[in-house]
């Protein structure tokens, strides 16, 4: 087997030609950053090689609705696995070298847990849960925890606040996401026992209420494979989206900030139709947008129904802030073989970016690992180009990239875009660092 002499050094793959192509395709030009490609790099690699994931189990950058990265103080940060201690640490991206630098701050000391990260501009919140597979379901005695950290700009380090972690629930789950509403309450959601569960803080960040089933229609009798996600939007509301494969639909329920925790508006159907739902949801809202726009990148189940190869597989769902109704737009087709989409919102250029896994050619089945591809569309007139998109993370000698993740935050020219994925075969993190410039 051919060896890569410099594989332990994080390196940028690709070239100026890739930057030009991205600029032509997307207008607001994403430009790769970092080091030049060294001699000995595998031909065809795209992106930057990162730390080891050994010991953290499969899908180190999973799960689909969760975010592992955030932007603060002019830098990108991530919760990554530290193989030496078999714990999860806070890392900072050194963009001049393309390396993730371990800050030494421990988050969760349990390997094989998965996290969702929220930076609110003052404090860092990390929810961490024991993974439950869709086949085994949630099990008690595996607490989901909330960690809170303060940031020291002088030392560029985070320290865990006294009294944390605290318990959100006592169950494992396939996914668990968090967000903070306009009154300062934290909300969390997950699925358990074929039902959508939520919980929220009731007396400061460290005091959580009793988890309860979302009190709206269609939030029960789910498939064991279904998931949920939470988002704060418009400065006035909190929403939960979930899949219900039993009814072939995805739903959205809204809570008005400041109302009783059990008071939720009637369920809105985000998309419905035969095989319209799968357990792939990545939910985002523009942070400084008071209008209430919400977007979700989702996957349909049409590939399992023998639909035409031109049928939509990956979709963007968009909430109309004036009516609360949802519209859907195709991102990728069955023939493109995309899976596990995540969404980034470029608030400066009003652009949607979708990152997805797909093999470089063919379609053995949707869900097949391979390369991370990117597509984009204007927010105001959503339309994505045909095809698989532009490759942004590829390991040419081990085409097993999957489970892309990024931040909950909006991105701008100041932040650029950083997305991360993991390769289960080589047990390594990879990431792409793309600057957003003017068109």
Please write the tens of the pLDDT for every residue from 86-97.
Answer: 999 999 999 999
Q: What is the pLDDT of residue 19?
A: 43
Q: What is the mean pLDDT of the chain?
A: 90
Please write the tens of the pLDDT for every residue from 388-423.
Answer: 999 999 999 999 999 999 999 999 999 999 999 999
- Cα–Cα distance measured from residue 426 to residue 414, given in angstroms and rounded to the nearest whole number: 33
Q: What is the pLDDT of residue 209?
A: 98
Concatenated DSSP letters for 2-20? ---TTTTS--B---HHHHH
**CB-count burial class (<10 Å; 0-12, 13-18, 19+) for 37:** middle
Given this structure, which CATH class describes domain 16-436? mainly beta
Please write the tens of the pLDDT for every residue from 352-398.
Answer: 999 999 999 999 888 899 999 999 999 999 999 999 999 999 999 99
- Cα–Cα distance measured from residue 246 to residue 299, given in angstroms and rounded to the nearest whole number: 15
| Contact (CB, 8 A) for 255 and 264 | yes
49: nearest Cα among 349, 332, 393:
393
Please write the tens of the pLDDT for every residue from 259-281.
Answer: 999 999 999 999 999 999 999 99
Confidence of residue 137 (pLDDT cuts 50, 70, 90): confident
DSSP summary character for residue 334: G
Please write the tens of the pLDDT for every residue from 277-307.
Answer: 999 999 999 988 888 999 999 999 998 878 8
Q: What is the pLDDT of residue 139?
A: 87
Take residue 186 and report the two structure tokens written for it.
């934290």
Q: What is the pLDDT of residue 230?
A: 98
Cβ-Cβ contacts under 8 Å for 385 (sequence gap 6 or more): 25, 375
Take residue 54 and report the two structure tokens written for it.
């050994």
Ranges assigned E (strand) in 193-272: 195-200, 212-213, 228-233, 237-244, 249-256, 268-272
Cβ-Cβ contacts under 8 Å for 314 (sequence gap 6 or more): 297, 298, 299, 300, 330, 331, 332, 336, 338, 339, 341, 354, 356
Q: Tally the residues of the chain.
A: 439
Please write the tens of the pLDDT for every residue from 11-40.
Answer: 344 443 444 344 434 445 575 554 334 334
């Amino acid at each position: 087997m051919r060896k890569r002499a410099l594989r332990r050094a994080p390196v940028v793959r690709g070239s100026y030609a890739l930057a030009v192509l991205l600029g032509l395709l997307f207008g607001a030009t994403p430009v790769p950053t970092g080091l030049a490609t060294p001699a000995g790099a595998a031909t065809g690699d795209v992106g930057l090689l990162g730390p080891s994931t050994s010991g953290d189990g499969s899908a180190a950058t999973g799960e689909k609705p969760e975010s592992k990265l955030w932007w603060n103080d002019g830098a990108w940060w991530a919760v990554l696995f530290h193989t030496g201690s078999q714990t999860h640490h806070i890392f900072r991206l050194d963009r001049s070298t393309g390396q993730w630098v371990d800050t030494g701050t421990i988050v969760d000391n349990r390997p094989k847990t998965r996290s969702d990260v929220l930076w609110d501009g003052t404090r860092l919140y990390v929810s961490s849960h024991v993974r439950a597979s869709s086949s085994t379901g949630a099990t008690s005695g595996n607490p989901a925890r909330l960690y809170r950290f303060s940031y020291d700009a002088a030392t560029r380090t985070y320290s865990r606040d006294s009294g944390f972690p605290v318990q959100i629930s006592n169950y494992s789950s396939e996914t668990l996401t968090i967000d903070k509403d306009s009154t300062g309450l934290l909300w969390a959601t997950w699925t358990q026992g074929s039902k959508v569960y939520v919980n929220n803080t009731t007396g400061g960040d460290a005091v959580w209420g009793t988890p309860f089933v979302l009190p709206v229609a269609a939030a029960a009798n789910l498939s064991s494979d279904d998931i949920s996600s939470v988002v704060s939007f418009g400065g006035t509301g909190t929403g939960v989206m979930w899949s219900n494969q039993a009814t072939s639909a995805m739903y959205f329920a809204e809570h008005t900030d400041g109302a009783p925790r059990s008071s939720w508006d009637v369920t809105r159907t985000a998309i419905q139709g035969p095989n319209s739902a799968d357990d792939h949801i990545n939910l985002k809202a523009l942070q400084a947008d008071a209008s209430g726009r919400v977007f979700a990148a989702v996957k349909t189940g049409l590939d399992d129904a023998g639909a035409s190869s031109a049928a939509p597989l990956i979709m963007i769902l968009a909430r109309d802030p004036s009516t609360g109704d949802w519209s859907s737009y195709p991102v990728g087709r069955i023939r493109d073989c995309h899976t596990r989409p995540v969404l980034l919102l470029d608030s400066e250029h009003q652009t949607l970016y979708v990152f997805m896994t797909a093999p470089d050619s063919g379609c053995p089945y949707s869900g097949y690992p391979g390369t991370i591809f990117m597509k984009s569309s204007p927010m105001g007139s959503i339309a994505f180009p045909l095809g698989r998109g532009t490759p942004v993370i590829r390991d040419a000698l081990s085409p097993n990239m999957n489970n892309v993740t990024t931040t909950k935050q909006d991105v701008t020219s100041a932040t650029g875009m950083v997305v991360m994925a993991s390769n289960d075969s080589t047990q390594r993190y990879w990431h792409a660092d793309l600057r957003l410039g003017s068109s």
